[in-house]
Structure 1
Amino acid sequence: MARAQGARAQMALAFETVYGTPPVGGFTKMPFASTTLGAEQPLLNSELLGYGRDPLAPIKDAVTAAGDIVMPIDAEAFGFWLKAAFGDPVTSGTGPWTHEFRSGAWVLPSLSIETGMPEVPRFAVYSGCVLDQLNWQMQRSGLLTATARLVAQGETVGTVSNAGTPALIDLKRFGHFNGAITRNGTGLGNVVSAQIAYANNLDRIETIRADGRIDGADPSIAALTGSIEVRFADSTLVTQALDGDPCELEFAYVLPSGESFTFTVHAVYLPRPRIEISGPQGVQATFDWQAARDSALSRMCTATLINDREEY
């Protein structure tokens, strides 16, 4: 009997035209490292008395479908997750194309995501997926991945794939070695690590339904936060924190072949950090920053992806 193995797992996604309705075609095979996406339905213990010490049968509660997907940050596939986070991009160029994803969209697209374990066989389709959070970390070494947290409407499980023959992607993966951070257009030195977290703060529409599913997930006030850990070499960031003025931070990755991903946070506010001397080693400081809407651009951040894909 075949047993499920993560090495044989596969994933495909497609954007929906109608929320919660998986499209007939148009799926794309996606690279991923791991996923916790799934549906669960807890049981409610019976509170009734008068039938002895042994409890009566439990009752099913509402269905909850959600989870995380860990994926590589690459030159093409990552654009699907950026579209899920920010909406349709503004695309320009004639090849390579520049896709500009802007924060602040009132309506976010929904996706259908299929995860498959062919050897069982088990193919689960999660419809009505809306991206709640997207985060990643910059550091000197290691594998560069991002984590997307999704809220789904429900799960449908079958023994055959509903994705047909998904389109393939030419994987061109960014690495930490390709990364750089700038502040107001100037390289920011002495950075040990950085974290970026964008949240749509979805509001689940939990109406009464016979199937126990949600009616949707609407975005509320977005949040963009993170942290920068630096070797304490000058007072540039501390001075900004004391003055209360914003700066622009840009987190960028560029491949030698020309593809690039740039995440620009237009108005970053820094808190006053505690500078600790914990020993004879170098002194480090951590700034837990917050972003806000830039009045000149009317948005909080811009994610720019340059690649050979014409549209998303």
Structure 2
Amino acid sequence: MARAQGARAQMALGFETTYGTPPASGFTRMPFASTTLGAEQPLQTSELLGYGRDPLAPIKDAVTADGDVVIPIDARAFGVWLKAAFGAPTTTGLEAPYTHAFHSGNWSLPSFSIETGMPEVPRYAMYAGCMVDSLSWQMARSGLLTATARIVAQGEEVAASTQAGSPTELTLQRFGHFNGSVTRDGTAIGNIVSADINYANNLDRIETIRADGKIAGADPSIAALTGSVAVRFSDQTLVSQAINGEACELEFSYALASGESLTVTAHSVYLPVPRVEISGPQGIQATFDWQAAKNDTAGRMATVTLVNDMEAY
């Protein structure tokens, strides 16, 4: 008897025309490292008295479908997740390389379906009505560069065969930590130890009364772009900005020698005044937990620019 193994697991993603209805075609095979995406329906214990000490049978509660997907940050497939998190991009270029600009602040975000497959069981779970609640990752000096997408879904349908057809295959071309850089107002920031970036749509689940116990949708509320930068303390530049309450532009980017690049630009970033501790004879670090806000000149809070050979998303 075959047993399920993570090494054989598959994932396919397709954007929906109608919320909660998986598309008949157009799925893309997505690379992923792990996922907790799933649906659960808890039981409510009976509260009734008068039937002895042994409880009556429980009843089913509402369905909750959500979870995280850990994904590599690459030059092609990551654009699919950016479209899900920010909406369709503005694409320029008559031929490769193409530049895809994703803007924050869109009120209408696309929904999509994700199918996870365990072919040896077989078990294929289709999660319809998916939306990205948040997308986050960390910049560091070394290690594998991955992001975490937090997904809110409507429900789960399990089948013995795939419903995704033959997904489009995208050649993986990963960015690495060593390809990264951080700039402030166009100038590289020295002594950066690590940086965290988190974009949240702060989805509001529409929990209406339905016979199937599923949500009716998820509406985006006030977006947030937050994070932190840990620096070896060497000057007062960032501290002075925090004290003065001024805004700066932070840019987090990755670039490959072959020309592909990913750039996250937070147009107006505000810094808190950090605690600067002297904990011993080693170098002194300061961590700034930053927040981004809408920039009047740019007309938005953030722009994510992906340059690759994909003609459209």
**Length-normalised TM-score, structure 1:** 1.00
**Whole-Å Cα distance in 2 between the matches of residues 278 and 40 of structure 1?**
46
**Whole-Å Cα distance in 1 between the matches of residues 109 and 166 of structure 2?**
26
Partner of 1:116: 117
2:304 matches 1:282: no
Partner of 2:73: 73
**Aligned AA (1:100):** A
1:71-121 residue CA offsets vs partner (Å, 9 max, x unmatched): 000000000100011001000012110000000001100010000000000
**Aligned AA (1:63):** V
Partner of 1:91: 91
Secondary structure, aligned partner of 2:82: helix
1:109-136 residue CA offsets vs partner (Å, 9 max, x unmatched): 0010000000000000000001000000
Secondary structure, aligned partner of 2:241: helix
**Aligned AA (2:265):** T
Partner of 1:237: 238
1:186-225 mapped onto 2 (5 Å cutoff): 186-225=187-226
Query: In angstroms, what is the RMSD of aligned CA positions?
Result: 0.4
**Whole-Å Cα distance in 2 between the matches of residues 130 and 7 of structure 1?**
26
Partner of 2:304: 303
Structure 2, unmatched stretches of 5+, are none
1:39-50 mapped onto 2 (5 Å cutoff): 39-50=39-50
1:186-233 residue CA offsets vs partner (Å, 9 max, x unmatched): 001100000001100000000000000000000000111100000000
**Whole-Å Cα distance in 2 between the matches of residues 48 and 235 of structure 1?**
66
Secondary structure, aligned partner of 2:130: strand
**Whole-Å Cα distance in 2 between the matches of residues 188 and 283 of structure 1?**
16
Secondary structure, aligned partner of 2:218: strand
**Aligned AA (2:50):** G
**Whole-Å Cα distance in 1 between the matches of residues 81 and 28 of structure 2?**
12
2:33 matches 1:33: yes
2:232 matches 1:268: no
**Whole-Å Cα distance in 2 between the matches of residues 63 and 215 of structure 1?**
12
Partner of 1:135: 136
2:17 matches 1:17: yes
**Aligned AA (2:35):** T
Secondary structure, aligned partner of 1:171: coil
Partner of 1:163: 164
Secondary structure, aligned partner of 1:276: coil
Secondary structure, aligned partner of 2:298: coil
**Whole-Å Cα distance in 2 between the matches of residues 181 and 223 of structure 1?**
20
1:297, distance to aligned residue in structure 2 (A): 1.1
1:289, distance to aligned residue in structure 2 (A): 0.4
**Whole-Å Cα distance in 1 between the matches of residues 163 and 182 of structure 2?**
42
1:282-310 residue CA offsets vs partner (Å, 9 max, x unmatched): 00000000010001111000000000000
**Whole-Å Cα distance in 1 between the matches of residues 298 and 256 of structure 2?**
28
Structure 1, unmatched stretches of 5+, are none
1:131-168 residue CA offsets vs partner (Å, 9 max, x unmatched): 00000000000000000001000000000000111000
Partner of 2:153: 152
**Whole-Å Cα distance in 1 between the matches of residues 218 and 80 of structure 2?**
19
Secondary structure, aligned partner of 1:281: coil
Secondary structure, aligned partner of 1:3: coil
Secondary structure, aligned partner of 2:272: coil
**Whole-Å Cα distance in 2 between the matches of residues 78 and 30 of structure 1?**
9
**Whole-Å Cα distance in 2 between the matches of residues 250 and 46 of structure 1?**
55
How many residue pairs align between the two structures? 312
Secondary structure, aligned partner of 1:242: helix
Residue identity (%): 73
**Aligned AA (1:172):** Q
**Length-normalised TM-score, structure 2:** 0.99
**Whole-Å Cα distance in 2 between the matches of residues 52 and 215 of structure 1?**
39
**Whole-Å Cα distance in 1 between the matches of residues 292 and 97 of structure 2?**
30
